[in-house]
A and B are shown apart, each in its own frame.
Chain A
Amino acid sequence: MPAMAEIRNYTINFGPQHPAAHGVLRLVLELDGEVIVRADPHIGLLHRGTEKLAETRTWLQTLPYLDRLDYVSMMCNEHAYCLAVERLLGAEVPLRAQYIRVMMDEVTRILNHLLNIGTHALDIGAMTMVLYTFREREDLMDVYEAVSGARLHAAYYRPGGVYRDLPDRMPQYVQNKFKNAETVKRLNEARQGSLLDFIEDFTNRFPAYVDEYETLLTDNRIWKQRTVGVGVVSPERALALGFTGPMLRGSGVEWDLRKKQPYEVYDRMEFDVPVGVNGDCYDRYLVRIEEMRQANRIVKQCIDWLRMNPGPVITDNHKVAPPPREKMKAGMEELIHHFKLFTEGMHVPPGEAYAAIEHPKGEFGVYAISDGGNKPYRIKLRSPGFPHLAATDEMAKGHMIADATAIIGTIDLVLGDTDR
């Protein structure tokens, strides 16, 4: 009997150093020719054990680690954590702090979607997009920096409110040999007033920018060829696979925690929830574009409210949040609170809480268990990217190898968030 040539599938490594893998994702692809038979993502290359670290840190010390999970939507991570701790404590958050949080969350959402759309387009061939989205990101990064003092790892939200109120001035460009007085004046026009003025100026400009992105991508035939019909997920499958956020809404399920289970002041905001039809990469892209427009609307509403209503931004319960510096330096009791809080930290009553927020990528949840100590007993971080990446196999099966990039891009993958 003549020996049949044995045909074996070809296995390749996609990543961990692949530029389109969005970090350190190792994707083992089993190929039949150019068609993906099986996709097996190997994660954990960025696993830092944040949950375990949290068990040896006080409740406050854990907070900056949350920034480092999803490092493109920092404040949203902090938000979920603060909500969980506040629920356990039963702490009241001042209304102004809630508005600031909602505003910064939406700024973060725009930041995240800008990065996602820019890099997704870059991955599948549209080089220019990322240049334009990063131009807008720069403005929002300035907002982050003015508010918190860091462009990425903000550590701005605290259990009980936010760290400081919004600043009343913005840093300005200075004249140099590349920029003359006139140019500098033009650049500084938006920076004359407070931070709120700066953001408002941005929100006025932003819809036109989104139109530009749409001009470049929405009707573009190459973009459509690469995304329409790729990575289709039916609504039923999306639910079974644990999809949330734009991934779920792209499949046509209208589910947005901001509407359905409103937290903070989202019930006072007017905005629409975009929903896709086909559940492919293109629909998810459209959902994200529309979400940016809606986020812009929410930011505007927050600015209007924040202008009118000054007030405290952090709780005056000094068992939870430190007293203001002025008082700490003048009063004995405040000084004791200050010392207690920064050494021993706050004590959280025994119990468990799961707080979820509508993170730009999906549902980000923090499941906190406290045994009454000054440190968490267990923190479980429910990252949106984890189940999405787990579904890569199902989404990529039967597609060409080039579509793997499109699918990874549409997941909005950030490995810091998936690996924790």
Chain B
Amino acid sequence: MEKITNFFKTFLLFELVKGMALTGRYFFARKITVQFPEEKTPQGFRFRGLHAQRRYASGEERCIGCKLCEAVCPALAINIETEEREDGTRRTTRYDIDLMKCIFCGFCEESCPVDAIVETRILEYHGEKRGDLYYTKPMLLAVGDKYEEQIAKDRAADAKYR
């Protein structure tokens, strides 16, 4: 009996028809396509994207030049130089991140004792010529200033896990 059914199944392209029926069903089903540049898929709260330097509410930059991030960076992408300022505090005179080297592991953010260097949720940025993706301190601070609200919100929400 089984032989006969198998014969007919083979002869009538049974399994192919079944497969076609499945794809046919999806042809008429609701589409799951995301129209990318206009709409985006949900982005995780812990997303590690473009770096930013943060400031305190007073406008003072947070980074104290402890160089922990420079030391922990597996790709050696961070370069820091520091100097004592007139008011006696230590601040960076140079803080560069070479995004071409960066592997976005998030260790810099993890190591920073004052939450100065963070990885934001920005993932759409580009450079048009060589050197464009070498981010210096003013560039990083500018990113931080622009997205501070979002950065602070994400950090606050995730604070209990860190």
Contact = CB atoms under 8 A, between A and B. Distances in A.
Interface string A334-361: 0100110011000000000000000000
Contacts of B103: 64-65, 68, 153
B44 A322 contact: no
22 contacts: A57-B74, A60-B107, A68-B103, A128-B23, A145-B44, A145-B46, A150-B47, A150-B104, A153-B104, A155-B105, A164-B46, A171-B43, A178-B35, A179-B39, A215-B19, A219-B15, A221-B10, A221-B16, A324-B162, A325-B159, A335-B113, A338-B111
Nearest to A128: B23
B74 A62 contact: yes
Contact of B19 (A62, A63, A220, A339): A220
Contact of B113 (A57, A65, A177, A328): A328
B71 interface: yes
A148 interface: yes
Given A57-B74, A64-B107, A322-B110, A146 B161 contact: no
A10 interface: no
A167 interface: yes
A333 interface: no
Given A178-B39, A216-B19, A329-B113, A343 B68 contact: yes
Interface string A40-63: 000000000000000001001111
A147 B105 CA distance: 14
Interface string B56-93: 00000000001010011110000000000000000000
A145 B74 contact: no
Contacts of B42: 142, 170-174, 191
Contacts of A150: 47-48, 104, 106
B18 interface: yes
Given A221-B16, A342-B72, A215 B39 contact: no
- Range of interface residues on chain B? 35 or more
A338 B69 CA distance: 12
A229 interface: no
B22 interface: yes
B4 interface: no
Contacts of B10: 221
A125 interface: no
Interface string A216-238: 10011100000000000000000
Nearest to B19: A216
Nearest to A179: B39
Residue among A135, A216, A335, A338 with max Cβ neighbours from chain B (10 Å): A216
A42 B132 CA distance: 36
Nearest to B22: A215
Contact of A325 (B41, B68, B162): B162
Nearest to B119: A149
A325 B115 CA distance: 10
B72 A177 contact: no
A215 B24 CA distance: 13
B161 A212 contact: no
Contacts of A165: 161
Given A155-B105, A342-B68, A343-B72, A149 B22 contact: no
B147 interface: no
A145 B43 contact: yes
Given A57-B74, A128-B23, A212-B22, A220 B45 contact: no
What 3 A-B pairs are tightest by C-beta distance, nearest first? A149-B46, A171-B42, A145-B44
Interface residues of A, number: 52
Given A155-B107, A215-B22, 12 more contacts: A61-B73, A61-B107, A128-B23, A145-B43, A145-B44, A149-B119, A155-B106, A165-B161, A169-B45, A215-B19, A216-B19, A338-B113
A146 B162 contact: no
Given A339-B68, A343-B68, A142 B44 contact: yes
A35 B8 CA distance: 34
Interface string B18-37: 11001100000000100100
Contact of B44 (A155, A171, A324, A342): A171
B158 to A, nearest CB: 8
Interface in A154-190: 155, 163-165, 167, 169-174, 176-179
A342 B105 CA distance: 14
B149 interface: no
Nearest to B72: A342
A172 B107 CA distance: 27
A171 B35 CA distance: 18
B2 interface: no
A272 interface: no
Nearest to A328: B113
Nearest to B14: A219
A172 to B, nearest CB: 6
A40 B42 CA distance: 44
B124 interface: no
B46 A146 contact: yes
